[in-house]
Amino acid sequence: MTFVLIAAALYLTATGLLFRRLATLGPSVPTPLWLTPLAAVMVHGTAHLRAWHEAGGANLHFFSALSLVGLGMALLTVLVGVRGRMAALGVIVFPIAAVVAIGYGLVGRQDPQQMDWRLQLHAWCALLAYATLALASVLAILSLLQERALRQRRLRGWLRALPPLVELETLLFRTIAVGFALLTATLLTGVLFVEDLLAQHLAHKTVFSVLSWLAFGALLLGRRLQGWRGAKAVRWTLGAMILLVLAYFGSNLVLELILGRR
């Protein structure tokens, strides 16, 4: 719990530093300012590693998986932030990472799941896909808000801290492309390594995951062939992400927290 609290404190400190920088000195954020969230990511990861070492295996139950997705989002935000004007993304993502880390510290310590390397590969591909596509969803909302502000000529406040709309949309679709590749790897490893993907306890996960994969694929194809952008791209991104959330977290919420199954 100590490592989780330290990570959460660092995330919130980083949020405050970035917000203050954006409010007073503009969107240009020096690289050293990203050291605080980087430290938060490292401590957050250490909390999971210590817990797995003590338990004798990886725990990928609901709160642990949610915390790992938050960790992945935070790490990707740091990597994106040091290369461009994306401090506003950190102001949104880092508090989310803090909340899910605390949730994991309070109720996420459960018995480890017994998985061989093949199932672990499948699980890690899935978690990376969730983190990447969740970050893409945040980028999609930011791009929509920025586009509307530009149309109404009301680009002020924190929206001015975002990079130009073309650059933001380029980052959005690159992130979706990476997430789509990871989701493809998730489905492929599932087909290869998971026994009976259409079993009763896996059927809904498989169906929702495939539907999400099709939606993200259609979005990328529409972008390439028809130049989809703006509100249409945001609707497709969020719709596909909702399907992906239902595939794992929605079902696990019911199974683990309501029905008490593991």
123-137 pLDDT, tens per residue? 899 999 999 999 999
Q: Give the pLDDT of residue 194.
A: 78
The model's pTM is: 0.88
Which is nearest to 71 in space by CA: 50, 31, 99, 110?
Answer: 99
Q: Give the pLDDT of residue 250.
A: 64
Q: How confident is the model at residue 147 (pLDDT cuts 50, 70, 90)?
A: confident
Max mean pLDDT among 58-72, 101-115, 162-176, 178-192 falls in 178-192
151-188 core/surface letters (b: 16 or more CB in 10 A; e: else): eeeebeebeebbbebeebbebbbebbbbbbebbebbbe
Q: 198 vs 219, which has greater pLDDT?
A: 219
Q: 187 vs 150, which has greater pLDDT?
A: 187
Q: How confident is the model at residue 113 (pLDDT cuts 50, 70, 90)?
A: low
Report whether pLDDT(94) > 90: yes
Q: Give the pLDDT of residue 10.
A: 96
Q: In the chain, what is the greatest distance between 2 CA atoms, to the nearest angstrom?
A: 57
Q: Give the pLDDT of residue 7.
A: 96
